[in-house]
């Protein structure tokens, strides 16, 4: 079965840029979606179709997808960006989620 | 405002059944695919199932195929998940989610936006 691999944790200082990767075989052939989940809350999409931002999501959030790796980039990271982030793609009529990355802003 | 409210969770013994419901409002429910996603507290997300706007096409995770059935009643703006043969590993918070693509011909190409607050299912003797 298809797998998406994310680093368990990423740390970033306030105001700096955070990059969260998501790796999968020939991932560039698929659309990747990114979800943010703050503690105690439901997930929220922050990037869809590799690099598109939903309305209401700050421009600080951006995405890319090339080769086997998709990347969520958060520029000028703020304390409120501290959350778990999950990548997701479709494979064989099944949604596959990455294991999630805990972003710590310190 | 789009609102999704799940219900039907609870404590159930292994091998028994449970039916989850999701009531939707704030959008034309009968034009969007819908999904169920679960999350063991403190762990990651696992997609469970999805179906098209008219219920004609369904998809399931291998872990629930043959045991769970997704359905919808567009007249009642409601999504359901019938869960049979429950196992302890089915214990999780179950989220209902709206597919972002309008009138998609398949439930397996869009993204989930928004999500409900979830209903907790605990399978234990």
Q: Catalogue the E-assigned strands of B2-117.
A: 3-7, 10-12, 18-25, 32-39, 45-51, 58-60, 68-73, 78-83, 92-102, 112-115
Average pLDDT over residues B36-58: 97
Which pLDDT score, from 0 to 100, does residue B103 have? 82
- How confident is the model at residue B105, as a pLDDT? 82
Sequence-ordered list of residues with C-beta below 8 angstroms from that of A47, at least 6 positions apart, any chain: A32, A33, A34, A53, A57, A61, A62, A63, A72
- Of the candidates B61, B109, B113, the beta carbon closest to that of A90 is on B109
> With an 8 Å Cβ cutoff, is A2 touching chain B?
no
Give residue-wise pLDDT tens across range B71-107. Answer: 999 999 999 999 999 999 999 999 999 999 988 888 8
Residue A26 DSSP label: T
pLDDT digits (tens, 9 = 90+) for B53-66: 999 999 999 999 99
Residues in chain B within 8 Å Cβ distance of A93: 59, 106, 108
CA distance, residue A5 to nearest chain B CA (Å):
12
Please give the average per-residue pLDDT across B36-47, as a whole number. Answer: 97
Contact B47 A86 (CB under 8 A): no
User: Closest to A42 (Cβ–Cβ): which among B47, B109, B118?
Assistant: B118
Q: Which pLDDT score is estimated for B5?
A: 98
**pLDDT (tens digit, 9 = 90+) per residue, A36-89?**
999 999 999 999 999 999 999 999 999 999 999 999 999 999 999 999 999 999
């Amino acid at each position: 079965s298809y797998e998406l691999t994310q680093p368990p944790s990423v740390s970033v200082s306030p105001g700096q840029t955070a990059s969260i990767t998501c790796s999968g075989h020939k991932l560039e052939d698929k659309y990747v979606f990114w979800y943010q989940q703050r503690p105690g809350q439901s997930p929220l999409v922050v990037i869809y179709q590799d690099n598109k931002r939903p309305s209401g999501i700050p421009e600080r959030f951006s995405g890319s997808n090339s080769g086997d790796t998709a990347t969520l980039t958060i520029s000028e990271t703020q304390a409120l960006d501290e959350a778990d982030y999950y990548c997701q793609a479709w494979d064989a009529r099944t949604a596959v989620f990455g294991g999630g990355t805990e972003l710590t802003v310190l | 405002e789009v609102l999704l409210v799940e219900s039907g969770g609870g404590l159930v013994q292994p091998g028994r059944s449970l039916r989850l419901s999701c009531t939707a409002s704030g959008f034309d429910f009968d034009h969007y695919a819908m999904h169920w996603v679960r999350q063991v507290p403190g762990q990651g997300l696992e997609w469970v199932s999805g179906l098209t706007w008219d219920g004609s096409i369904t998809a399931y995770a291998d872990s629930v195929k043959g045991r769970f059935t997704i359905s919808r009643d567009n007249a009642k703006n409601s999504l359901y998940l019938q869960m049979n043969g429950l196992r302890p590993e089915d214990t999780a918070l179950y989220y209902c989610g709206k597919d972002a693509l309008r009138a998609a011909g398949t439930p397996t190409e869009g993204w989930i936006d928004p999500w409900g607050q979830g209903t907790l299912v605990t399978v234990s003797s």
